Amino acid sequence: MNIRTVATTPFADQKPGTSGLRKKVPVFQQPHYLENFVQSIFDSLEGYQGETLVVGGDGRYYNRQAIQIILKMAAANGFGRVLVGQGGILSTPAASCVIRKNQAFGGIVLSASHNPGGPNEDFGIKYNISNGGPAPEKVTEAIFARSKKIDQYRILEAADVDLDQLGSAKLGDLTVEVIDAVADYAGLMESLFDFDRIHQLLVGGQFRMCIDSMHAVTGPYARAIFEQRLGAPTGTVLNGIPLEDFGGGHPDPNLVYAHDLVQILFGSNAPDFGAASDGDGDRNMILGSKFFVTPSDSLAVLAANAKLVPGYKAGLAGIARSMPTSQAADRVAAKLGIDCYETPTGWKFFGNLLDAGKATLCGEESFGTGSDHVREKDGLWAVLFWLNILAVRQESVKQIVQEHWQQYGRNVYSRHDYEAVDSDRAATLIKQVNNQMPTLPGKKFGAYEVEYCDDFSYTDPVDGSISKNQGIRVGFTDGSRIVFRLSGTGTQGATLRLYLESYEPNVAKHGLDPQDALADLITIADEIAQIRESTGMDRPTVIT
Ligand code: G16
C-alpha cells in the first residue's frame, strides 16, 4: 500500500461556521474539496502520531464515501487507530461519548445536522477535540487559515474498509475498529437516569409516548433504549430507519418540520409525551399532550427539577445558555444560588465552562440541551431527563411547565426565521440596525423604552478569549429583548433570526399565544430593522 502525496490548490470557502463546514453535497464532491479540508484539520493539530481518532456521521448522503477518504487520509497522516461507528453511523452526542470514553485524540463528525440530505442537499464536517466537544474558535480559525494555503494532502492507496462488519481491519499501519454505534452511549444514559422508574412509567399502561427520529441517526439509539431496554411498545419510535435523504424530509425537530409528530400530539386521543430529534441526534423537541415546550423553558424546567434525577441529584454547579436563549434559566439559577453564563450561539462556547466545572447544564433556544456527561448537546438525553421527571412527579408535561411559570413567571419567547434571504440584503439589514445602535437607548416605542442596544461580545471566563459581533441585542426597560442575528449554519443565502422575549409574571396571562403576547415587540422589530422591506419577505419562513 502506497501513501500518495497529492498536489492541490486552496478553496476560498472553507471557513467553518457555527458548527463546522456545511455545504451542498456537490460542493464536497468536487475533486480535492473534502481532502483539502481534512488535511487542513490534520495540519492544524499537533501530536496525533499513533493516537486514536473517532469518525462517524449521521448517515446522510455522502457519509460513507467521505468516511473512506478520511480513513485513508488518517492512515497516511500517521494516526494509530480509528474508531468508526458501524455503517459509518455515530450520532453527534455518541461521537462525543466515544471520544471521551476511549480518551481519543479527537474526532471527525460528519453531519449537516438539521439540514436536509441527498445528492443535492447538505453535507458537513467538523472536528472535535479530546474533551469530546466541538473545536474552539482558535482551532477552527487555524483550520481555515491552513485551508487558504494548502498545496498538498496525503492519502493511502488502499481498498475500502467494510464499515458494516464489527471488528478490526488494517489500513497500512492504521488499525480501523468498526464499533457498535449505540452501546457506549446507551450505557452512559443508563448511568445517569433512573431506568427502573422510567420502565415502570412506560409499561404501566397509563402513559403513552412517541418519538420521531425523522429517518435520521437517532432511530437505532431510540429503539435500543426506549423499546428494547425500557420496555416501550414496538412502534413508539416513528421513522426509526436512518435514510440517506431522511425520506425526503427536513430533519429539524421544530413545530414546522416535525409536523407529523405535532399532529399526533395535538390530535384526538393524543399521547402524553412526544419528542423529536434532528439529523445527527443532538437536538430535541419536547411536546406534551396538546402542549409545546419551548427549548428555553425546557432548559429551565430541567434545571429546576435536576435533583429528581440520579445523575444530577448532587446539584448543579451552574447553568449556561446561549445569548438569544430566553432568560428563564437565569431565574432558576438565581433561586438555586448558582451562576448562569450567557455565551454566544454555538455549543463550542460551553466546552470550557463544562471542563472547568463551572456549568453542569447547558441549553440553547435552537432545540439544544445537554450537560457535562458529554461535550455536545444531546437529544435523547433530554428525552430521558424529561421522562425521569415525569416518572417521579406523576404529573403531565403541561402541569409541570405551568407550575414552573407560576413559581418563576413566564419568559414568553419566540424565534422568527427568514430563510434563504439574499446575502447582501441580509448584510445591509444588519448594518442598518448597527447604525442605529447609538441612538436607540432612551427611544420609546409605545409603552416600551429601549434601555440598551449592543452587539454581543463574550469573554470566556476560563481562557479569556474574546468573541465579538455575536448578535445585536435591543433590551427594554421592562426586561423584554429583541435580538437580531444571522445564522451560521445555513448553506443557501443568509438566514435572519429574530429572537423575541418578554417577561410575564401575571399567571392570568400565561395562557396567551406567544405570537399575541409578543405582537408589540414583533412590530417594533420591523420598525427598527425594516425586515419586510429589506428581505422582500412578508412573513418569516419558520416560527418557533
Ligand atoms: C448548531 C450549533 C448550535 C447553534 C445552532 C444554530 O447546531 O451547534 O450551538 O445554536 O447551530 O446556529 P445558527 O443560529 O448559527 O444557525 P446544530 O444542531 O446545527 O449542530
Q: Is the dihedral of CA 459, 462, 464, 467 positive or negative?
A: negative
Which residue lies with its CA nearest to atom 19 of ligand 1? 113
Length of the chain: 544
Q: Where are the domains of the chain?
A: 2-181, 185-408, 410-543
pLDDT at 514: 95
How far does the centroid of ligand 1 lie from the alpha carbon of residue 362, in Å?
A: 13
**pTM (2 decimals)?**
0.94
Provide the pLDDT confidence category of residue 305 given band limits of 50, 70 and 90. very high
Average pLDDT of the residues in 298-311 = 98
pLDDT at 155: 98
How far does the centroid of ligand 1 lie from the alpha carbon of residue 490, in Å?
A: 9
Instruction: Indicate the helix (H) or strand (E) that contains 391.
Output: helix 379-393
For residue 1, is pLDDT > 80?
A: no
Mutation choice for ligand 1 from 343, 345, 369, 491, CB with most ligand atoms inside 8 A: 345
How far does the centroid of ligand 1 lie from the alpha carbon of residue 295, in Å?
A: 13
Which residue lies with its CA nearest to atom 13 of ligand 1? 487
Provide the pLDDT confidence category of residue 490 given band limits of 50, 70 and 90. confident
Q: What does residue 344 show for φ and ψ, rounded to 5 degrees?
A: -65, 165
CA torsion, points 146, 14, 158, 107, in degrees to nearest 10?
A: 80
How far does the centroid of ligand 1 lie from the alpha carbon of residue 388, in Å?
A: 26
| C-alpha span between 222 and 119 (Å, rounded) | 26
Which residue lies with its CA nearest to atom 2 of ligand 1? 346
Mean per-residue pLDDT of the chain: 96
For residue 491, is pLDDT > 80?
A: no
For residue 497, is pLDDT > 90?
A: yes
91 is catalytic: no
Average pLDDT of the residues in 96-120 = 97
Mutation choice for ligand 1 from 92, 489, 499, CB with most ligand atoms inside 8 A: 489
Closest CA to 67 of 40, 44, 38, 36: 38
For domain 410-543, the CATH class is alpha beta
Question: Which stretches of 153-294 are DSSP H helices?
Answer: 183-192, 195-203, 218-222, 259-265
Cβ–Cβ under 8 Å, residues 308 and 193:
no
Which residue lies with its CA nearest to atom 1 of ligand 1? 19
Determine the atom of ligand 1 nearest the C-alpha atom of 377. 8
Determine the atom of ligand 1 nearest the C-alpha atom of 282. 18
CB neighbour class for 444 (10 Å; exposed up to 12, middle 13-18, buried from 19): exposed
Pocket around ligand 1 at a 6 A CB cut-off: 18-19, 113-114, 278, 282-283, 322, 345-347, 364, 366, 368, 487-489, 497
Cβ–Cβ under 8 Å, residues 353 and 462:
yes
Which residue lies with its CA nearest to atom 4 of ligand 1? 346
Chain centroid offset of residue 318 CA:
20
CA torsion, points 498, 23, 153, 127, in degrees to nearest 10?
A: 40
Q: Is it true that 185-408 and 410-543 share their CATH fold?
A: no
Grid cell for residue 55: 469518525
Angle at 260 between CA 203 and CA 237, to 5 degrees: 30
Proportion of the chain in helix, strand, coil states, percent, rounded to 5: 35, 25, 40
CATH of the domain spanning 185-408: 3.40.120.10
Average pLDDT of the residues in 85-107 = 97
Q: Is the dihedral of CA 494, 320, 141, 54 positive or negative?
A: negative
Cβ–Cβ under 8 Å, residues 124 and 113:
yes
% of the chain residues with pLDDT over 90? 95
The string of pLDDT tens digits covering residues 370-407 is 999 999 999 999 999 999 999 999 999 999 999 999 99
How far does the centroid of ligand 1 lie from the alpha carbon of residue 323, in Å?
A: 13
> 526-530, long-range: CB within 8 Å, 24+ apart, which pairs?
527/445, 528/433, 528/436, 528/440, 528/474, 528/482, 529/429, 529/432, 529/433, 529/484, 529/498, 530/429, 530/432
Which residue lies with its CA nearest to atom 3 of ligand 1? 346
How far does the centroid of ligand 1 lie from the alpha carbon of residue 345, in Å?
A: 7
| C-alpha span between 181 and 175 (Å, rounded) | 17
pLDDT at 118: 96
Provide the pLDDT confidence category of residue 493 given band limits of 50, 70 and 90. confident
Q: Is the dihedral of CA 245, 251, 255, 260 positive or negative?
A: positive
For residue 492, is pLDDT > 90?
A: no
Average pLDDT of the residues in 65-90 = 98
Q: Which of 44, 91, 113, 534 is catalytic?
A: 113
The string of pLDDT tens digits covering residues 264-301 is 999 999 999 999 999 999 999 999 999 999 999 999 99
pLDDT at 318: 98
Determine the atom of ligand 1 nearest the C-alpha atom of 364. 10
Question: Which stretches of 305-378 are DSSP H helices?
Answer: 328-336, 351-355
pLDDT at 527: 94
How far does the centroid of ligand 1 lie from the alpha carbon of residue 315, in Å?
A: 27
Mutation choice for ligand 1 from 19, 280, 375, 498, CB with most ligand atoms inside 8 A: 19
How far does the centroid of ligand 1 lie from the alpha carbon of residue 95, in Å?
A: 17
pLDDT at 489: 81
Which residue lies with its CA nearest to atom 9 of ligand 1? 346
Rg (C-alpha) for the chain, rounded Å, is 23
Cβ–Cβ under 8 Å, residues 470 and 364:
no
Q: What does residue 507 show for φ and ψ, rounded to 5 degrees?
A: -55, -35
For domain 2-181, the CATH class is alpha beta
The string of pLDDT tens digits covering residues 139-191 is 999 999 999 999 999 999 999 999 999 999 999 999 999 999 999 999 999 99
| C-alpha span between 475 and 503 (Å, rounded) | 12
| C-alpha span between 286 and 298 (Å, rounded) | 8
Question: Which stretches of 239-356 are DSSP H helices?
Answer: 259-265, 295-304, 328-336, 351-355
